[in-house]
Amino acid sequence: MKPQTRRKTSLPILLAYVVIGFGCLLMLAPFWFMFVFATHSNTEILSVPPPVWFGTHFFANWVDLLGRLPAFWNNIGWSVYVAIATTIANLFFCSLAGYAFAMYDFRYKKLLFGFIMSTMMLPAFVGLIPTALIMSWLGWMDQPKALIVPGMVGAFGIFLMRQYIESAIPKELIDAARIDGCSEFGIYVRVVAPLITPAMGTLGLLTFIGSWNNFMGPLIVMRSMENFTIPLALRALQGTGQTPYGAISAGSAVAVLPLLILFMLASKRLISGLTAGAVKA
């Protein structure tokens, strides 16, 4: 009878707002406390009630952190280096393979693509131990390439790129470039790559975040403190006498802040990229 009941702010809808708002608080509170604690001394953090607004102790916490993790600047450097290198390699190899699957017809194409997709379901940790062995045989232990090379290309990236290229680039364009004498790789460089920057952005973000947060990988292959990435270095703060809550919070804030900034800039693209595969018709 009444077509527009949903516009009315009824009690259940008000309740829904309250519940969802409370949930938002629950999701954000740990981040808030992390940044607040990063600016307070241990005694302030451990007071009743705990601080809820920023203090003045960030610099002291940072000095404390550097005292406990003398190589923390190196650790930041390695994290940045590994994440950027992995991302660049990923963008190149995934888009190249995605281009092949989207624009070429070749024997065993379906089979190969199906195989790649099925690897997404493999639980990573089954191969964890042999991976450590391979790295030591290759002499890659304690070297950042042990983190970069295995992550250079991934099934999800190939899938994302194929979907995008298929929908965004008409095959005629490829044929036209070919008739104009463009080589196969030249077509990728001059025609395909410039047209898929939105998908590159999404995949780049996902890869960067994944690499930045990677903990298992460095845990297995990195041995010396100077070569740790940030997550691994942070873990070393644990369990030595009195827990340095201020320093831990400061370090965690450094680990999380770049992601928060990236997320604020591009959350929509990120989420749509992640769901792209899930809801394909």
Contact between 54 and another protein by CB under 8 A: the answer reads no
Q: Which stretch binds another protein (CB under 8 A): 48-56, 61-69, 70-78, 195-203?
A: 48-56
Distance CA 84, CA 34 (A): 26
Q: Is 112 in the site for another protein (CB under 8 A)?
A: yes
Largest Cα span, the chain: 75
Question: Which residue from 63, 216, 261, 265 is in contact with another protein, where contact means CB under 8 A?
Answer: 216
Cβ at position 131, least distance to another protein in Å = 5
Q: Which stretch binds another protein (CB under 8 A): 57-65, 68-76, 80-88, 179-187?
A: 179-187
108: left (phi over 0), alpha (psi -120 to 50) or beta: left
271 binds another protein (CB under 8 A): yes
Query: Least Å distance between CB 116 and another protein?
Result: 6
Interface pick for another protein out of 8, 20, 172, 241 (rule CB under 8 A): 20
Identified binder of another protein from the candidate list 181, 239, 241, 242, rule CB under 8 A: 239
Q: Which range, of 54-62, 64-72, 150-158, 194-202, touches another protein by CB under 8 A?
A: 150-158
Among 62, 78, 164, 245, interactor with another protein by CB under 8 A = 245
Contact with another protein (CB under 8 A): which of 134, 176, 261, 265? 134
- Number of residues in contact with another protein, rule: CB under 8 A? 103
- Residue in 8, 11, 53, 124 binding another protein, rule: CB under 8 A: 124
Q: Is 209 in the site for another protein (CB under 8 A)?
A: yes
Residues 186-205 binding another protein (CB under 8 A) are 188
Residue 279 engages another protein in binding (rule: CB under 8 A): yes
Q: Which residue in the set 69, 83, 91, 116 belongs to the binding site for another protein (CB under 8 A)?
A: 116
Name 116's Cβ contacts closer than 8 Å, sequence gap at least 6.
97, 155, 158, 159
Nearer of residues 56 and 184 to another protein, judged by Cβ: 184
Q: Is 172 in the site for another protein (CB under 8 A)?
A: no
The single residue among 63, 73, 109, 261 that binds another protein, judged by CB under 8 A, is: 109
When binding is defined by CB under 8 A, the residue of 26, 139, 181, 194 that contacts another protein is 26
State how far the alpha carbon of 193 is from the alpha carbons of 48, 180, 200, in Å.
Answer: 57, 18, 9
- The answer to whether the CB of 49 falls within 8 A of the CB of 33 is no
Binding range to another protein, per CB under 8 A, among 53-61, 63-71, 102-110, 196-204 = 102-110
